[in-house]
Chains A and B, each alone.
Chain A
Amino acid sequence: MELKEKLISSFMAFEERVDVNDSLHDIRINAMKNFENNGFPTKKEEAWKYTSLNSVLKNDFSVFPKNENSIQYSDVKKYYLHEIDTYKVVFVDGVFSSFLSSTTHDGIDVCLMASALTKPKYKMIIDTYFNQIAQKDDSLTSLNTAFAMEGAYINIPKNKVADKPIEIINFSTGTEAALLVQPRNLIIVGENSHVQIIERHQSLNSNPVLTNSVTEIFAAKRAIVDYYKIQNDTIEASLVDNTYIAQKQQSNVSVHTFSFGGNITRNNLNFYHQGEHIESTLKGITIIEGKQHVDHHTLVQHATPNCESHQNYKTILGDRSTGVFNGKIFVEKEAQKTDAFQQNNNILLSDKATINAKPQLEIFADDVKCSHGCTIGQLDETAMFYMQSRGIPKKEAKALLMYAFSNDVIQSIKIPELKARITKIIANKLGVNMGFDL
């Protein structure tokens, strides 16, 4: 049975199982209808021209998460930011693991989507926020919405600074031959509040996994949200990450995406402005090789005046790997005095690596500052010789150049332990013991 048919019949079974209120029920039904009509995206669609899921969709995925699989903390400790204390919302094969998690209801809510979707006390919040900014006509987002159940629910009330970072970690154990998981996260950050969140997807063996994740983030007036995505998964793990962010006036939201692993990774990162003097930051480092594929689709919807957005994406592609960067900046007529900046630099280490880069600016206001820059190049041979002539071996010289290339993005990580971690992942990836810190 094809995956689409399997999902449609699974949905009927799912609907019978869940006891949900009417409004949610309608949302699910409509979402499923949209998925049924559109199916999985194909290369015929402009937005998916360079990314094909066909090879992944051939797997016979298990759709429903089984009961909790037991894994030991010691097995997975290295995937946590264990150097510091954090709140943790951990899922194993799509099922919440209370054993590995550390949630809270003390002043802030760091807990489960499943509770928020089913318990009456959250009904008002769910009605107000759930599926409000997720793209209703996007078929993979719809598929996630139809099955939405497990995920992180984070609610920081106004005037609160979350006392420690929050980690959302999705492990897959490989007990299923092939697994489809669909985490659904809802993050609400109140006025003047501040939170730092780290999201990671990690397979623990080589069985294929497809993650179709949807995250909605609402930043109220003057809220500050720093979100970090670590995508350093095994070679059989594919990820479609759909993140939707709505910002109110004077809020400041940054998303850093570190794509170092996985099979096919697709990031759809969307910012919507709903007030003045908003700041949005989108940054990413992609370092891949082999036949890996990473696709960044970004959208910043400037709908209001006096807002800023900054984008900076660095890509290093080795072997036959392929990268896509499609950065769309949309400036509506009302959005005067917009300051939008987009930078995308790419290095191809091999003749067989490919990057498809497409800056896309649509500007309908007449008093704005919008700029974009895109470069594609190779590692500078003269710079290599220069460093070698000073005694730095070729491999280290190459690593130093690649590290320097991505350094300005690394420097903007606000959690020191995370910065150290990312540096270490890069050093491991480049096969050097980096004796330098930049």
Chain B
Amino acid sequence: MNNDLARKHSEMRMKDQRVQTHPCYSKDAHKYARIHLPVAPACNIQCNYCNRKFDCSNETRPGVVSKLLSPAEAVHRFQAVKKRMPELKVVGIAGPGDPLANPNATLATLKGVAEIDDDVHLCVSTNGLNLPEQVDALAGVGVHHLTITINSLSAKTASELYSWAYFNNQRLRGIEAAEALIEQQMKGLKLASEAGILVKVNTVLVPGINDGESLSALAKEIQSRGALLHNVMPLISDPAHGTFFGLNHIPGPDKEQLEAARKVAGMDMQQMTHCQQCRADAVGKLDSDQSCASKELDSSVATVRIAVASSTGELIDTHFGHASEFRIFDVSESSLALVETRQVEKYCSGMEHCDDQPLAGHIKALHDCQQVLCARIGMDPWQSLENAGITPSVEFAMMNVTDTLKVLAPKASSSCSGSVNKEAC
């Protein structure tokens, strides 16, 4: 496809309804709101402009989040926010690590949201290292919007932007890490475009490293691999954030440098210029973030569904694997209701087998519960439950069911530290 044809094709795609109603893809979609659900804490690379340790309520930038959510909590937050914010049109997973380094949590959350609302756009933002292996799964749950952060095509250039990458069970460094990452990004970009996903490419501009020639080559390549939109973002380099670039006082671009870079990249790629560089837990419209308000909102309206393994309903006295039934309770700050008792086939016949038996039936029976309380549980069922977004607990073994549920009832949070975060998401 020659350049003009490709550009026309891209202009045509920009008119797609899925683009017009997504505030990150279209400047004109600012009336629609988005929510980032922070379910993905792990990351598989170290970018020199990111510091995973830092979390401060006064700062707003990608890779940072105040409280992680399990997939079930995340779906619950989405539901609660949607009730108050009907213009909520976009559900994204952007971290605080890399969503595809946490594929189970990411996919479970997206699936849960899609089950209750088939009208929202599902998006994911990734560094691309695990993308080729996950494209089918993402398309399968209905992800239409994908952002890949690609900073350079040159391994030498990229080796100044990344310290290491965890790939094929090894920590790679320097050039080796950069080569693996770029290869995966290019493969993933092509596969995702071919799968019909609208791909936006983010590039963090670091003057002296990936501007000029490097950026021009990148724009050409991503265009030929089917990217729809390119977002050249300025490096955020505050020493207080503790990043490598920040601590070494390596400056981000000034306005002129950023504009010049966007012009260079704009020769080949449609540019996005209204990005606000959101946090991984941003909520609301791009110009009015309400992540803090929404946290209050979801705790104040929250009802949690808790499953209890108990022989008589009085004490939490049953081993998870020995349970033949679970009592399902809905618990809120002011009420406690037994919804029903669900029968399951017990699968564990003793310590030796406890960790090996299939427990898909149990997980299915408890799929809508956020927590399960039991007297004991094996490591593997524990892990499988967590992967399905259900948190097991043995902390209340042999304690009274009603008393425990009262303790676990969600409390309306009294305040959110500081004022509402200014949107920089």
Q: Do A and B bind each other?
A: no
